[in-house]
Amino acid sequence: MSLELYAHPFSSYCQKVLIPLYENDIPFELRLLEPGNAASAEHAARWPLRRMPVLVDGDRTVVEASIIVEHLDLRHRGRVRLVPDDPEAALDVRMMDRVFDNYVMTPMQKIVLDAIRPPEHKDAQGVADARTTLDTAYRWLDGVLGGHEWAARDVFSLADCAAAPALFYADWAHPIGDAFPNLRAYRRRLLARPSFARAVDDARPYRPYFPLGAPDRD
Ligand SMILES: N[C@@H](CCC(=O)N[C@@H](CS)C(=O)NCC(=O)O)C(=O)O
């Protein structure tokens, strides 16, 4: 059964699901979302909230990046498991997945999306709050990651799929300072992981679209 992924390579949540697809060499058709194209109309019909990514697997439409990763792990299991079988270990993975989505991805998106708002609709307080959340998250993560290779139980997982694009763009929007060496090293490890390196390469041509101006580095 062929998989269709409605996505855009520059989107952080889409990269989150590209990582497991690449990790396990799962074949899929990319339905590239561009404003006004046919894929975009199909995507809106399948998911009125119009968030990407959306995975279509036969007669199932799967939304929400974490659930797509779980679906791939369940239905298209490969050598690299994304959610461990052990329920306690799985809970640790899901906890870190939530941390990266809620306290890194969300404030990063707030800062980035505010940059494309017209001046009269800017949300200075919201952006300041997002920066505070990122600082707090960076500090906590730096402590948690000390001495660990991956985010949960030292095994690459869904948690790292969430972390990779979240930290990639968060560092562009609100740099991870020298005060957080463990977090900086973890971001470097994620960038060296071939699946994420490939997703970053896929997205390279779109860097001029980054609303804050992409830095000249990964
Ligand atoms: N909770 C969703 C969030 C997905 C999301 O925010 N995707 C962004 C791209 S990174 C998007 O679709 N933005 C377009 C929009 O908000 O209209 C998930 O985990 O999949």
> From the CA of 15, how far away is ligand 1's center (Å)?
11
Specify the DSSP class assigned to residue 57: E
Which secondary-structure segment (H or E) carries 7? strand 3-7
98 within ligand 1 shell (Cβ under 6 A):
no
190 within ligand 1 shell (Cβ under 6 A):
no
- In single-letter form, the type of residue at position 95 comes to M
Report cis status (omega within 30 of 0) of the bond before 53.
yes
- Is 1 a residue whose pLDDT tops 80? no
Residue 122 — pLDDT band, cuts 50, 70, 90?
very high
Distance of CA 214 to CAs 110, 135, 207, 217, Å?
16, 20, 6, 8
Average pLDDT for 173-190: 98
Residue 47 — pLDDT band, cuts 50, 70, 90?
very high
Specify the DSSP class assigned to residue 121: G
- Is 187 a residue whose pLDDT tops 80? yes
- Is 147 a residue whose pLDDT tops 90? yes
- Is 181 a residue whose pLDDT tops 90? yes
Per-residue pLDDT tens digits for 80-96: 999 999 999 999 999 99
Short-list 165, 174, 151, CA closest to 195: 165
Q: Which residue has the tokens 């497991």?
A: 20
What Rg do the C-alpha atoms of the chain give, in angstroms? 17
pLDDT at 108: 98
